[in-house]
Structure 1
Amino acid sequence: MATSNRSECRALITDFGSARHLGSDHVGKQAKGNDQRRQPTTDPNAGEEPITLEAIFSATASTLTLTGSGYTLRWAAPELLQDDKPCLRSDIWAFGWIAYEVMTNTIPFHDVKTNAIVINRVIQGHLPSVTEDARMSLIRALCSLMVRCWSMNPDKRPTAEECRKLISWMPMIIPAPSQAIDEDASQLRHAELLNTLGNMYRKQADYPSALSSFTEALDIYTTHNDNRGQAETLRQLGDVHRFRNESAEAAKFYLEALQINLGDESQRANALFGLATTHQLRHEYGEAIKLYSECVQIYTSTGRKRDRATALCGLARVHRDQAEYSKAIDLFSEALQVYTDVDDLRERALTLFGLAEVHRLQVEYSEAINLYSEALQAFTDAGDHSERARTLWCLAEVHRSQREYSEASKLHSEALQIMIEIGDRRGRGTSLWGLAEVHQAVQEYDEASKLYSEAMQIFTDVGDQPWRAETLISLAETNQKQGRSREAISLYTEASEAWEEMGDSRHASWALNKAADCRKTLQ
């Protein structure tokens, strides 16, 4: 059953079939002022075994609650079908089906007609493969959560609070329509949906798909002379190229977005921020500082405290990259105070992470570990599993730098598990790379090569050229240490070509020099 929260225009799931009295171990304090009158009723489900229900009316709260001991078969957890007592974990199983039903517009086991077959499938664990559904495959994090909700062991299912936190960070997409999309639907609406889809692909590091969606949206906005849509989509395209380390392409799109005068200073600042970050990636620090500073001024004048703090963090990273660590710490600290004041837990955690990075670069490992650990706890509290995994990865790298390989391996493995669960392929690749680095450090070269190869395939699939080049270098070094000079030469050369394509001549030349060193050993 679902109701709507009218003030926020959102649907709320309130129960699954029929609510039940909680056991004594689950009962909390009863709300004060509830004048409750009980009225017996019966379950209206036709064709099912009758269920005795009670209607509890609260005059004070103007609510009516049905309670009983029954359940609806298709949404029922396996323990209920085996006559176990219902519990909160049973509702979590049903919640997984609610997510499936909303997104696919089909009920559980929609292809099955008899109850006996439904019961057999549930008990045997023969559930649908959510990733095979075209729409569900786009929301890997939700698919992962649904699979956890359907754990045969009730104790392994997430709690309601954990579900709420996980869903709050997921990219959004409209549910499947009950019928085919109207051919006369607005093209501009279609472009808006393409942008939503592109954002979802970008958050999952599927950059080729994101570029395809944004490019199609841009064509529609251009055809309809929608300047606001054009500017926003150009900025999104710039973001994707920036994340792929394609700085020249990124800068081009940001500049095009800035040329469209919308009279919206906040929109302009967003494009300036992207352009500033692009200059930072190209080591053009003077221009980056100038643009970040302009962003700070705009956000200050428009009263956008959080965005101002984000721009301060951008400035801090520029100073960090220039080894001006004192300035970086001051700027991160100023941003941290803003996020603390506005009670933004996630951004506060990101800033703690930035401070930890500065201390790591200064080889102040104890302070870095303390800050990473504080950020890790904040990300855990906020339910942000992606950033939690990234922080675990950085903690692992600190321990690897200190040759504490057992701890590094443990942390990288934990990060890898999270990335797999939330469906972050790029994150999975970086975690595999980290584990491979640990194996290489302890001279377990065969295992290292296997992990590097798996990581490189992922980076190739998602179009992440920088990490692909980095992994080629790592594989080359592993082969070189094993005396496989010819293989190493080929890998160094391939990495050089990848960096050349990205416009990074410095790294491209370095890789070629490494290949030349290998040739000398052959001679």
Structure 2
Amino acid sequence: MKSGLSHRNIVQLIGFLEDLDRDKAWIVLSWEPNGNVLEFLESGEWEIPERLSLIKDTFLGLNYLHTLQPPIRHGDLKSLNILVDSSYCAVITDFGSARAIKSAMTRPVDGEGGVSAGDKSTTHPQVTIVADGDQLTLTGPSWTLRWAAPEVILDEEQSDLPSDIWSAGWVCWEIMTDKIPFSDIYEQYPLMYRVLQAKVPSTCEDAQLGQIVSLCSMMMDCWKFDPKGRPSIAQCLNELKWMPSIPPLGGTSGSKVPSAKLLLQMGDVKYSQDLHETAGSLFQQALDLATGEGDYETAAKALEYLASVYSAQSKWTEAVDCYTQALDILTCTGNDRGRAHILDGLGDVYQSQFKYAEAEQSYTEAHGIYNRIGHEEGQASTLHGLGDIYRIQTKYAEAKKWYNQAHDLYALTGDPLGRANALNRLAEVYRYQFKYSKSIHFYTQAEYIFTRIGDDLGRANTFDSLGDVYQLQSKYTKAKQSYTQAYEISVRINNDQGQANALAGLGRVHQLQLKYTRAQQSYTQAHDIYVRLGDEHGRANALYGMGEVERHLSKYTEAE
């Protein structure tokens, strides 16, 4: 079987030996200079994007195995069986337990703990691993209890491809935490009990792993007890491709200077956590380094990332300046895809500045480029932007058409953030059309996706919008709950705009419930934040609410 495999992330076959008289066989595979992935990670401190790159490599190799005809189950996936080659890419090794998956296959477990692919009476050779120079020699099939899925331990027939997915979840754990599965357990039966009870760690509680919430969510899905509930390898790759990654740099990590590209990915990790100041600092370092090295493409990417930070901080002038500089660079280098991406971002900024004609022009130009080069992700983003323009102009039928098309493309390309944003916009359109049940349905779907990918800003904005809908339905208790959730998340991520919006929403609910003192407090807090932000529209609305409350309070005073 191994002789027919050829993939960048699958180890190279050196040879195959067998001794039929003694019922032994040997597969000789290449060894890689950086050892297995745990040995490599122990050589120093590696950044999160570098670790994610090794995870992506592993899943790419597993995807190759699972999509062959017939599919191949590796059967013993773990960090010890993942090597790091001279280019710092991960490659899967040790195919002693691998099996081609056929519908009639069964996988009984022998008394020694090995998994066979046929009848239990079939004899299989013992696994032996021999290190000889730069090669690894191994014999026979085996699985390792610590990484084994529950159905493998239970000797169930369906222990095929999903059992690899369970083990792949543990590979993510090892690469991100430098810990083996169930590192606190050393005895066989307590370990089996822990696996069969599906007592897996809480991923988000780990300081490093918890920074990539979308990875945490994917790992928990990989560890679902029911094999049918686990994601396919293709679904895992769709989630992984959106996570910031870059292959590890050469040399020991403690002595290396981060490259501009690594700094960008490190900044992207912080940006995904809404740590905009930290992200901006890393992006600026990347820009300075890339500019000094004459790496104009990376400099343009750094400017684009900086523009995203400024946009998140409502610093529109600075965002436009960064986007414009990046556009000039990419026009000179002839990077059409990069130009389209910048034009799309400019459209978003112009829209936030209420410059709708400029926004539509940017989106249309970007969409034309994306359409010409066949870039579906970019097409989805620009369709979303055009939907925004029509929504603002109250052309709701056209807006829904563009949003639905964008949502379908986001789903096709596996972009969860894009899907959530499109669902949010559809919910908003239905709210304007007084179709509140549909609006709540789409907002709830969006909030679920934001939670899954760890987008707290998206969650806060969605809760704020849900509060608006519940308020319109006179469901004041639910409205207060939603606004309170929006406020608490906004405080945690230091999002002043979100805090002000949620406080204004709470002020309206308190006012409608005739709780004027509480309403006045909420409006006043919101007003002060709007003033600090320079948000005249928000400030005016808060002042109007304060005036209405003051008028009602005056009436009560006169009545007394």
Q: What TM-score do you get using the length of structure 1 for normalisation?
A: 0.75
| Counterpart code for 1:199 | D
How far has the Cα of 1:230 moved from its partner? 11
Q: Structure 1 165/436 Cα, relative in aligned 2: closer, same or farther at 3 Å? A: same
- Listed as ranges, the gaps of 5+ residues in structure 1 are 27-42, 56-65, 252-273, 278-290
Pairing of 1:358-369 with structure 2 (within 5 A): 358-369=389-400
> Does 349-358 or 102-111 show the bigger shift?
102-111
Aligned to 1:281: none
How far has the Cα of 1:346 moved from its partner? 1.1
Aligned to 1:120: 193
- State the SS of the aligned residue for 2:186: coil
Contact 1:207 1:463 survives alignment (8 Å): no
Aligned to 1:299: 330
Aligned to 1:63: none
Pairing of 1:223-372 with structure 2 (within 5 A): 239-246=308-315, 251=318, 274-276=319-321, 292=324, 296=327, 298-314=329-345, 316=347, 328-329=359-360, 331-372=362-403
Q: Give a deviation string over 1:171-204, Cα, whole Å, max 9, x none.
A: 23789x9x9x74xx35x43998666433211123
Contact 2:424 2:442 survives alignment (8 Å): yes
Q: Structure 1 374/5 Cα, relative in aligned 2: closer, same or farther at 3 Å? A: farther
Q: Structure 1 476/354 Cα, relative in aligned 2: closer, same or farther at 3 Å? A: same
How far has the Cα of 1:149 moved from its partner? 0.5
| Counterpart code for 1:92 | I
- State the SS of the aligned residue for 1:468: helix
1:197 maps to 2:237: no
> Does 16-25 or 374-383 show the bigger shift?
16-25
How far has the Cα of 1:516 moved from its partner? 2.1
Q: Structure 1 49/25 Cα, relative in aligned 2: closer, same or farther at 3 Å? A: closer
Q: Give a deviation string over 1:430-473, Cα, whole Å, max 9, x none.
A: 22222222211111001110111011110111111112211111
Which of 207, 220, 245 is residue 147 of structure 1 equivalent to? 220
Aligned mates of 1:307, 1:234 — CA distance in 2 = 12
How far has the Cα of 1:22 moved from its partner? 0.3
Contact 1:317 1:328 survives alignment (8 Å): yes
Aligned to 1:285: none
Q: Relative contact order (alpha carbons < 8 A, sep ≥ 6): 1 or 2 greater? A: 2
1:102 maps to 2:147: no
Aligned to 1:495: 526
1:77 maps to 2:149: yes
Contact 2:222 2:230 survives alignment (8 Å): yes
Q: Give a deviation string over 1:99-158, Cα, whole Å, max 9, x none.
A: 111122222112211121111001112111222222111111111100111011222211
1:2 maps to 2:82: yes
How far has the Cα of 1:503 moved from its partner? 2.6
| Counterpart code for 1:22 | I
Q: Structure 1 499/226 Cα, relative in aligned 2: closer, same or farther at 3 Å? A: farther
1:458 maps to 2:489: yes
Q: Structure 1 407/486 Cα, relative in aligned 2: closer, same or farther at 3 Å? A: same
Aligned mates of 2:320, 2:362 — CA distance in 1 = 20
Aligned mates of 1:231, 1:321 — CA distance in 2 = 22
Aligned mates of 2:410, 2:440 — CA distance in 1 = 21
Contact 1:171 1:203 survives alignment (8 Å): no
Aligned residue pair count: 449
Which of 412, 415, 437 is residue 468 of structure 2 equivalent to? 437
Q: Structure 1 122/481 Cα, relative in aligned 2: closer, same or farther at 3 Å? A: same
- State the SS of the aligned residue for 1:189: coil
> Does 304-313 or 491-500 show the bigger shift?
304-313
Aligned to 2:558: none
1:130 maps to 2:161: no
Which of 232, 242, 253 is residue 159 of structure 1 equivalent to? 232
1:22 maps to 2:22: no
Aligned to 1:11: 90
Q: Give a deviation string over 1:87-107, Cα, whole Å, max 9, x none.
A: 211111111111111122222
Aligned mates of 1:460, 1:129 — CA distance in 2 = 24
Contact 1:244 1:465 survives alignment (8 Å): no
Contact 2:320 2:349 survives alignment (8 Å): no
1:206 maps to 2:275: yes
- State the SS of the aligned residue for 1:434: helix
- State the SS of the aligned residue for 2:179: coil
Aligned to 1:287: none
Q: Structure 1 83/163 Cα, relative in aligned 2: closer, same or farther at 3 Å? A: same
Aligned to 1:171: 244
| Counterpart code for 2:180 | I
How far has the Cα of 1:504 moved from its partner? 2.7
- Listed as ranges, the gaps of 5+ residues in structure 2 are 1-80, 117-123, 128-137, 555-560
